[in-house]
Each structure stands twice: as C-alpha cells, then as structure tokens.
Amino acid sequence: MALLPWHKIETVLLDMDGTLLDLNFDTQFWLDLIPKKLAQRSSKSIEICKQDMKAAYAEVYGEIQWYCLDYWAEKLDMDIMAAKHELAHLIRMRDDCIPFLDALKQSKREVVLVTNAHPNSLSLKVEKTQLDAHIDTLISTHEFGVTKESQTLWEKLQARLGFDPQHTLFVDDSQRILDAAKEYGIAYTLGITNPDSQQAENTIVGHPTTNNYHQIIQSIIDDNFSPHDSPHDSPHDSPHDLHHKDHHVEKREL
C-alpha cells in the first residue's frame, strides 16, 4: 500500500527546517551557540546558560516569539543575525531534498513553502541553499502574525493561497504542527522523523511518516493528480487499482 494517495493530492505545503533543510543548524545555533555566547559575557557556566535558555524557549514555545529574531535580539541583547552568520556553513539541504522537490515539480503539483522561520532567517537559508529555485511560493508565517500551531494561520493561509484542503498534503517534522494542520482539515499529512542528521530519530503518531523521500518519489511521479477516480477506486493500492489509475493517467494526458 502506498504511503499517500498521490492521485488525490494537488497542492503540497512544505515546512522548511527539518523537512527540507537539516535541522542541525538550528539545533546547534539555539541550543549550543547562543548559550555559549551568553556564558562568554557573564560569570555563568555554559551549562547554566543552557538551562536558562531552555526555560526561555519553553516560555514562548509554539508562539510567534519563539521564531521571532527581533524578540530574541531584544530579550538577549544580542545581534542574532550576526550570530547566525557565524554558523551559516551548517545550513544545508537534507540529502533527499532535491530529488523530492524535483519529483514534485515534474508532477506539476503546486509546491508552497510554509515556514514559521522569521523572514530574515528564511532569506539567509534561501541565500545559502537556493531553495527558492525549486519551489513555487515561499511564505513566512510572520506575514500573518501567527504560527502553524494556530488554527488562525490555516484560515489565513487558505484565504491567501486558495488551496482545497481535500486535495492538499502538508509535510512537517513537528507533531504539534502536523496535528494542527489535520485539525484544520488538511486531508493529507506526512511527518518527518529524522529532521536533524546528528540526532536520534523522533516518533510521530497519528500521521504517515518517512525518514527518506526516496521512498515516495516514484509514487509522486507515477500517480498523477486525478481527483475524480471511479467509485471502484479503493483506498488500498491493489493491482486492479494501479491498472485503473494508469488508464486514467493516459486519459488525462490526451
């Protein structure tokens, strides 16, 4: 059975950090570099600064401030963008990112990046990876003032993009965000269980998951968007259904 019914998916909404890019940069930046910098300018140990930052992150977890560089610049009295440039060599795509994006493009689906990252952080990552060359539209949720964890974001995003939730797939590495998308009514979700190349794999429940886009690339290409499959279509990919879909694809291409 295929992981996702690609023939029902017209629009693909993609998270950025951990989903397309290796989360290692963000992990190193927020959990290591920032506490080190705080320790350097104070009498506190790095360990204490790490604990302080974990508490500070927990205060605004899932809120727009968590992702807001201006918030952290003011709270920590630090040039956050300058600090990001120090680690910019760690900004990289996942190894399976380009083949995945190429397959989506080849299949002519609408591909939209929807990130909670601050616009300045998005710009830096685009500059380092040229991610924008592979994606139709890039959106930072800061434009709406709410994050993907909020139902309000999904309402605003749908109004802006006009996608049909019944024919939309959302891919993310956050359990909480995937749950929010599902709650809003996004019909298809995919969880990424290995967002950080240097950390152990995560568990995501209640959603199909993958740790390697190569597993789904062939389905993306072969299973064209074809929402009005016959009533014979079953949710399971039996050989009969595959044959039926092939026939349908041929008709669409005529």
What residues line the site for Mg ion (CB under 5 A)?
15, 17-18, 173
Q: Give whichever of 26 and 110 is closer to Mg ion, judged by the CB atom.
A: 26
What is the closest distance, in whole angstroms, from the C-beta atom of residue 17 to Mg ion in the complex?
A: 4
Two tokens, residue 237: 């990919």
d(CA 124, CA 81): 9
Supply the DSSP string of the chain, one letter for each residue: --SS-GGG--EEEE--BTTTB-THHHHHIIIIIHHHHHHHTSSS-HHHHHHHHHHHHHHTTTSHHHH-HHHHHHHHTS-HHHHHHHTGGG--B-TTHHHHHHHHHHTT-EEEEEE-S-HHHHHHHHHHH-GGGG-SEEEEGGGTTS-TTSHHHHHHHHHHH---GGGEEEEES-HHHHHHHHHHT-SEEEEES---TTSPPP---SS-EES-GGGTHHHHHHS---TT--TT--SS--HHHHHHHHHHHHHHH-
What is the closest distance, in whole angstroms, from the C-beta atom of residue 151 to Mg ion in the complex?
A: 19
What is the closest distance, in whole angstroms, from the C-beta atom of residue 52 to Mg ion in the complex?
A: 24
What is the closest distance, in whole angstroms, from the C-beta atom of residue 110 to Mg ion in the complex?
A: 20
What is the closest distance, in whole angstroms, from the C-beta atom of residue 204 to Mg ion in the complex?
A: 12
Q: Give whichever of 53 and 204 is closer to Mg ion, judged by the CB atom.
A: 204
What is the closest distance, in whole angstroms, from the C-beta atom of residue 117 to Mg ion in the complex?
A: 9
Q: Give whichever of 11 and 147 is closer to Mg ion, judged by the CB atom.
A: 147
Q: Based on C-alpha coordinates, what's the Rg of the chain?
A: 20
Q: Give whichever of 17 and 233 is closer to Mg ion, judged by the CB atom.
A: 17
Other beta carbons within 10 Å of 132: 15
Q: Give whichever of 30 and 225 is closer to Mg ion, judged by the CB atom.
A: 30
d(CA 167, CA 178): 16
Q: Give whichever of 7 and 118 is closer to Mg ion, judged by the CB atom.
A: 118
Q: Give whichever of 38 and 68 is closer to Mg ion, judged by the CB atom.
A: 68
Residue in the shown chain whose Cβ atom is closest to Mg ion: 18
Whether the Cβ atoms of residue 200 and residue 219 lie closer than 8 Å to each other? no
What is the closest distance, in whole angstroms, from the C-beta atom of residue 195 to Mg ion in the complex?
A: 6
